[in-house]
Amino acid sequence: MNFITNISTDQPSDKELIAAFKAHHDIKYLSILYQRYMDLVFGVCLKYFKDAERSKDAVMDIFEELNNKLQLHEVENFKGWLHVLARNYCLMQLRSPRNLKTSEWNGDFMQSAEMTHLPNEALENETRFTHLQACMETLPAEQKQSIELFYLQKKCYNEISEITGYEWNKVRSFIQNGKRNLKLCVEEKHLHD
Q: Residue 140 belongs to a domain with what CATH number?
A: 1.10.10.10
Phi first, then psi: what are they for 166, rounded to 5°? Answer: -75, 150
110 in a domain, yes or no? Answer: no
pLDDT of residue 47: 93
The half-sphere exposure of 156 on its side-chain side, counting CA atoms within 13 A, is 1
pLDDT of residue 100: 54
pLDDT of residue 98: 65
3 in a domain, yes or no? Answer: no
Each residue of 101-136: pLDDT tens digit? Answer: 555 555 555 554 454 554 556 666 677 777 778 888
Indicate the pLDDT class of residue 2, thresholds 50, 70 and 90. Answer: very low
Number of folded domains that form the chain: 2
Each residue of 140-162: pLDDT tens digit? Answer: 999 989 888 888 888 888 888 88
Assess whether 86 and 126 both reside in one domain: no
Element (H, E) at 24: helix 14-24
Indicate the pLDDT class of residue 32, thresholds 50, 70 and 90. Answer: very high
DSSP structure class, residue 12 = P
User: Cα–Cα distances in Å, from 77 out to 14, 36, 73, 95?
Assistant: 8, 14, 11, 27
Assess whether 20 and 48 both reside in one domain: yes
106 in a domain, yes or no? Answer: no
Assess whether 123 and 187 both reside in one domain: yes
Helix axes 52-72, 14-24, angle to 10 degrees: 70
Assess whether 68 and 142 both reside in one domain: no
- CA distance linking residue 104 with residue 114, whole number of Å: 17
Indicate the pLDDT class of residue 4, thresholds 50, 70 and 90. Answer: very low
182 touches 147 (CB < 8 A): yes
111 touches 122 (CB < 8 A): no
Assess whether 151 and 72 both reside in one domain: no
CATH assignment at residue 70 = 1.10.1740.10
Assess whether 87 and 55 both reside in one domain: yes
134 in a domain, yes or no? Answer: yes
pLDDT of residue 1: 35
Mean pLDDT (the chain) is 81
pLDDT of residue 122: 61
1 in a domain, yes or no? Answer: no
Assess whether 93 and 158 both reside in one domain: no
